Structure 1
Amino acid sequence: MFPTNKLNRINELAKKKKEHGLTDEEGKEQTKLRAEYLKHFRSTMVNTIENVKIYDPNGTDVTPEKVKAIQNKKKLH
């Protein structure tokens, strides 16, 4: 989970930017924090997708072949 204090800071900076604008230093901090957040989000999303199994209403595994291939590759390592 992304640290709450960093998420709160991202939100503070976004609010300040709308209301008053940011200093150069705050702008750089916001860019850095957003990049950190996106990196974390993407890695979490990739992990979720790579570990999902999809079943149709009949109980048949309909997980896309591309995802199955990634899952099988991970099992071998």
Structure 2
Amino acid sequence: MAEKKMTFEQAMTRLEEIVSQLENGEHTLEDALSLYEEGVKRMKQCVSMLDRAEQKVRKLRTDENGELSEVPFVPEE
């Protein structure tokens, strides 16, 4: 059965829940490992979604002819 696709917000909320559960230390080793594996999966899911979102962000720039052109967004540090 296919797993339901989570939104970024849902995946982050679940990841926060997993971290909280692991921090309380009340799980068996097997349960903790299972939670850890799910946490890694959720983290990768969130990173992937953020990467895709960043690739969609574009910045409009005026070239030397006064024409607007789309360029990849590069964050300023």
**Pairwise TM-score range, normalised by the shorter structure:** 0.5 to 0.7
1:9 partner SS: helix
List alignment gaps of at least 5 residues for structure 2.
1-5, 64-69, 73-77
Give identity over the alignment, percent. Answer: 7
> Superposition RMSD on alpha carbons, in Å?
2.6
Check the 8 A contact 2:22/2:32 in 1, yes or no: no
Higher RCO structure (Cα 8 Å, ≥6 apart):
2
1:1-77 to 2 correspondences below 5 Å = 3=7, 4-20=9-25, 23-48=32-57, 51-54=58-61, 61=62, 68=71
Q: Tell me the CA shift for residue 53 of structure 1.
A: 1.5
Matched residues, number: 56
Higher strand share: 2
Distance 1:25 1:46 in 2: 32
List alignment gaps of at least 5 residues for structure 1.
55-60, 71-77
Higher helix share: 1
* Cα distance per residue 1:9-34 (max 9 Å; x no partner): 11101222233276111110000110
1:18 partner letter: E
TM-score by length of 1: 0.56
Question: Deviation above 4 Å: which 4+ runs of structure 1?
Answer: none
